[in-house]
Amino acid sequence: MSQTIAAAPALTRLAEDEALFRDSVYEFADREVRPITREMDEHAKMSPGLITKLFELGVMSVEIPESYGGAGGTFFHSVLAVESLSRVDPSVGVLVDVQNTLVINALLRWGSDEIKRRYLPRMAKNLIGAYCLSEAGSGSDAFALATRAAETGDGYALTGRKLWITNGNEADLFIVFANINPEAGYRGITAFLVERGMAGFTVGQKEDKLGIRASSTCELLFEDCVVPKSQILGEVGKGYKVAIETLNEGRIGIGAQMLGLAQGALDHTVKYIKERKQFGKPLADFQGVQFQLARMALDVEATRLLVYNCARLRDAGLPFLTEAAMCKVYSSEVAERVASMAINLYGGYGFVKDYPVEKLYRDAKIGQIYEGTTNMQLMTIAKQVLGA
């Protein structure tokens, strides 16, 4: 049913390079992100200075070809970057994730040469993107879109409201899905590239969230926002295809975010139980604690194998729909479970904001919700199992 990609001997050097890349991004996160994580969480705001450093590091343009000013990496490199950043702060991880696995990925696959020339160099330098599909009545039923696009000669006038849009505050480029022909159902859905500042387009309320608080989640308002036909991404009426195929890849990115979160919770736990003493010896000396730690490590490693395998399938051009669903379900459950156990082992300290694990527990919850809920992923997996 499921397939795996094994690294051949010829890939040894590449694997070493990937490990070096992952470690270097984590070193950056440990140095630049960790000191401001709590402040960003409390103020629910991403540091503009940090965003600049992320661009300078190259993790905001991982797959953009060098000819456009990007890093020229692979999808797997994007996954490694998201994992490493999320190990310190999943809010930063999802900023980079949406930029790479959704927006840049969609532009590379569906953008015309003109669109690529117009946007990719800017996205490699300082332009942040957002992916705008969800609406009040269109969540798991992703194509029940109420946002409309009416043809106006040289373009389309967009009218509607999008909700829960990640990177809404920071983005200047938005991939917006609207229906140009509701009678045609999902075959009327079209993807448009909307820039901040276009007449009739407003970034609305920012949500006050449980977790990943530094990551902005906003509503978008469109009132006769005229978008030129040159700003259509892909083909008219084929937006559903853009959405489906891009989100399949985005789920691997969420898997990487949850993997990094779980690894971060494990890191904190190992350090704490070695230092914390009860009954005259460190918690780490108690067999019951060791068994709990072993379960956490097992969960994290199993998640890593699922996420990495799925990313390699994607880069190899092999089918990965079911594997992506699996890695998102499992990684999000593991993130919540490992973060919860971290709080348990911290005891009372784990429940207060002076210590880092309560934040990771709050951050973990979103993994089972966005970019396809757990129930939707289980339906995908079940269809494969049943051969439907």
8's enclosing H/E stretch is none
Q: In 3D, which of 262, 261, 165, 288 has the Cα closest to residue 218? A: 165
Is 371 annotated as catalytic? yes
The two tokens of residue 206 are 């920012």
Going along the chain from its start, the domains and CATH numbers come out as: 9-128 (1.10.540.10), 130-237 (2.40.110.10), 240-386 (1.20.140.10)
Angstrom CA distances, 256 to 153, 180, 253, stand at 43, 35, 5
Token duo for residue 115: 């669109």
pTM over 0.85: yes
> What sign results for the dihedral spanned by CA atoms 154, 160, 165, 167?
positive
Supply 200's token pair. 């009739």
What residues are paired with 295 via a beta bridge?
A: none
How does pLDDT run along the chain (388 residues), one tens digit per residue?
566 655 444 444 445 688 899 999 999 999 999 999 999 999 999 999 999 999 999 999 999 999 999 999 999 999 999 999 999 999 999 999 999 999 999 999 999 999 999 999 999 999 999 999 999 998 888 788 999 999 998 899 999 999 999 999 999 999 999 999 999 999 999 999 999 999 999 999 999 999 999 999 999 999 999 999 999 999 999 999 999 999 999 999 999 999 999 999 999 999 999 999 999 999 999 999 999 999 999 999 999 999 999 999 999 999 999 999 999 999 999 999 999 999 999 999 999 999 999 999 999 999 999 999 999 999 999 999 999 7
Among residues 341, 335, 326, the alpha carbon closest in space to that of 385 is found at 326
* 3-state SS, residue 151: strand
377 close to 330: Cβ distance less than 8 angstroms: no
Q: Rounded to whole angstroms, how far apart are CA atoms 364 and 258?
A: 7
Type and span of the H or E element at 372: none
Tell how far CA 65 is from the center of its chain: 21
| The residue to which tokens 């109420």 are assigned | 146
Amino acid at 293: L
Active-site entry in 32, 63, 249, 371: 371
Q: What DSSP designation does 140 have?
A: S
